[in-house]
């Protein structure tokens, strides 16, 4: 029991990664299965077309962000390919910020900023902290295979 109190960083990494993954996953789930990507496009299309954003960029951006949030969020929750997922989710946040900023320059960042902070936290912490993940288990398996050959 004493050992658990010496690994707060492992708990912090796990909680932050799973929480961020759930935020993105459920947002992506909503965009893909409830609202549908066509509904997302309808919501953002008119204001972005008014400011001169090309339609193909709006459509591609909506598809990209919806599916990256869904898939990337799931990958973060389980901890598989987490750095690739975080890079793509970072790009997702940039695209969303550009779209919202173009539609309304003084937009409310209450949904984006916490995701950004958690994402940056996960990117800067040492990888040794995030050991409760599929990536970490996979690296152990690869290491054991390499020394038993």
Q: What is the Cα–Cα distance from 80 to 76, expressed in whole angstroms?
A: 7
* Residue-wise pLDDT tens digits, 68-100: 999 999 999 999 999 999 999 999 999 988 888
What is the predicted pLDDT for the residue at 111?
Answer: 80
Extents of the domains making up the chain: 3-147
As given in the structure block, the two tokens for residue 19 are 């929480």
Q: What is the Cα–Cα distance from 104 to 14, expressed in whole angstroms?
A: 35
Q: How far is CA 149 from CA 77, 132, 135, 138, 144, in A?
A: 32, 26, 21, 17, 9
Cβ atoms of residues 94 and 52 within 8 Å:
no
Q: How far is CA 58 from CA 23, 28, 29, 38, 46, in A?
A: 23, 17, 19, 11, 10
Count the alpha carbons within 13 Å of 16 in the hemisphere toward its beta carbon.
23
Cβ atoms of residues 77 and 21 within 8 Å:
yes
pLDDT tens for the 149 residues of the chain, in order: 556 566 889 999 999 999 999 999 999 999 999 999 888 888 888 888 888 888 999 899 999 999 999 999 999 999 999 999 999 999 999 998 888 888 877 777 878 899 999 999 999 999 999 999 999 999 999 999 999 87
């Amino acid at each position: 029991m004493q050992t658990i109190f010496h690994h707060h960083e492992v708990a912090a990494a796990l909680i932050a990664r799973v929480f961020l993954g759930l935020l993105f996953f459920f947002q992506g789930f909503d965009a893909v299965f409830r609202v549908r990507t066509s509904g997302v496009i309808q919501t953002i299309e008119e204001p972005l077309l008014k400011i001169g954003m090309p339609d193909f960029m709006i459509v591609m951006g909506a598809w990209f962000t919806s599916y990256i949030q869904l898939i990337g969020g799931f990958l973060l929750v389980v901890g598989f390919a987490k750095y690739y997922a975080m890079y793509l989710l970072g790009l997702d946040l940039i695209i969303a910020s550009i779209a919202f900023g173009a539609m309304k320059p003084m937009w409310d960042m209450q949904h984006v900023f916490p995701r950004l902070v958690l994402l940056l936290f996960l990117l800067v912490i040492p990888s040794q902290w995030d050991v409760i993940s599929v990536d970490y288990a996979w690296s152990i398996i690869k290491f054991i295979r390499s020394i038993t050959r």
